[in-house]
């Protein structure tokens, strides 16, 4: 389904940005948060400038970045912006729209944008804009995507429909992420990391299904999957690679059942997986703490590169 492909694409983006990133925060401003519709399925934020400064990260990104986000990134480059120079943080949000099947995806870029010069360049090239109330929305080359600036530090881009939805949220026509209390609270626990993500209930169900693989076919998983409340993860790269996933459930029984399922899946993969997968599983701990399921992974940069080349990782991000 479309919404599942979107979640996989967003996860692939965050993981592909990971290698060699320093531990600096990828935080979203109030302006950026207000331009994200309330009903989000997943939000990922990354430090874009750090990625651009690492040749290894760029090589890795080019190899595994999903087609949906390659298109968005290419459109960003051909729209007249110097992404390498102008963009500091980059976020992608998949969100639902009432009456629309699946999800839409919008990109939010933060930085210092010379908006008058950019618009003058578009005018010189006779690029025609459309208006959403007082907002000018410009086409991003021949990509079929659109871009608009809500101020000199915040840019919205994506499909025309996704950009309009973001502007509706930004202008108060519809509710924004600022009105989503559960997601805002979840963000507070992770948004000081270089890479972080928050997922709602449905996004969490799909993510856990992908992580469990064949183990998700057992009866216990069908029983507990509907009891996921949401999840969040963060990554740190100051000394190797550290990944922390926290899944919220309503009670200790659900968290403990999921911990048992994940440990069973890890044992199966440790017996049948590649050497890189076995190494990764050996560096992973799974436990329940009250009503939370916690997964922690720690590895050196070289071990992480080996994992990214494995079939297990490819199955999760695509």
- Blockwise average pLDDT, block size 10, the chain, 318 residues: 43 42 64 96 81 54 57 64 70 89 89 87 89 93 85 91 96 96 93 86 85 66 82 79 88 91 80 78 89 88 68 51
Residue ranges in the chain assigned as alpha helix (H): 2-16, 30-34, 48-52, 55-64, 67-78, 83-86, 115-124, 160-170, 181-188, 201-212, 219-224, 252-272, 275-282, 301-308, 311-317
Half-sphere exposure for 184 (CA within 13 Å, toward CB): 14
pLDDT, residue 4, reads 45
Q: Which residues contact 170 (CB under 8 A, 6 or more apart)?
A: 31, 34, 35, 150, 156, 176
pLDDT, residue 18, reads 41
Residue 100 CA to residue 123 CA, distance in Å, equals 34
pLDDT, residue 101, reads 86
pLDDT, residue 265, reads 78
pLDDT, residue 13, reads 42
pLDDT, residue 317, reads 47
pLDDT, residue 297, reads 84
pLDDT, residue 95, reads 95
pLDDT, residue 177, reads 97
Handedness of CA 218, 183, 102, 110 (dihedral sign): negative
């Amino acid at each position: 389904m479309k919404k599942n492909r979107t979640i996989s694409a967003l996860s692939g983006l965050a993981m592909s940005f990971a290698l060699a990133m320093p531990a600096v925060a990828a935080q979203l401003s109030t302006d950026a948060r207000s331009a994200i519709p309330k009903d989000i399925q997943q939000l990922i934020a990354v430090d874009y400038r750090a990625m651009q400064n690492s040749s290894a990260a760029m090589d890795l990104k080019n190899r595994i970045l999903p087609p949906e986000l390659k298109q968005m990134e290419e459109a960003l480059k051909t729209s007249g912006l110097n992404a390498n120079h102008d963009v500091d943080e980059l976020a992608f949000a998949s969100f639902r729209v009432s009456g629309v099947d699946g999800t839409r995806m919008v990109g939010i870029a933060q930085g210092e944008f010379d908006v008058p010069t950019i618009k003058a360049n578009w005018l010189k090239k006779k690029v025609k804009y459309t208006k959403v109330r007082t907002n000018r929305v410009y086409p991003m080359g021949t990509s079929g995507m659109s871009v608009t600036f809500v101020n000199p530090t915040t840019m919205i881009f994506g499909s025309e429909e996704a950009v309009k939805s973001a502007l509706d949220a930004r202008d108060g026509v519809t509710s924004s992420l600022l009105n989503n209390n559960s997601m805002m609270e979840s963000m507070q626990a992770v948004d000081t990391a270089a890479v972080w993500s928050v997922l709602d209930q449905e996004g969490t169900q799909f993510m856990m299904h992908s992580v469990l693989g064949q183990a998700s076919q057992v009866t216990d998983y069908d029983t507990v999957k509907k009891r996921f409340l949401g999840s969040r993860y963060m990554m740190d790269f100051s000394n190797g690679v550290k990944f922390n996933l926290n899944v919220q459930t309503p009670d200790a029984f659900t968290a403990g059942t999921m911990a048992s399922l994940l440990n069973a899946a890890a044992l199966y993969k440790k017996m049948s997986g590649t050497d890189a997968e076995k190494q990764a599983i050996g560096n992973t701990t799974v436990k329940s703490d009250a009503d939370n399921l916690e997964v922690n992974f720690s590895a050196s940069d070289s071990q992480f590169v080996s994992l990214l080349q494995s079939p297990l990782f490819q199955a999760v991000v695509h």
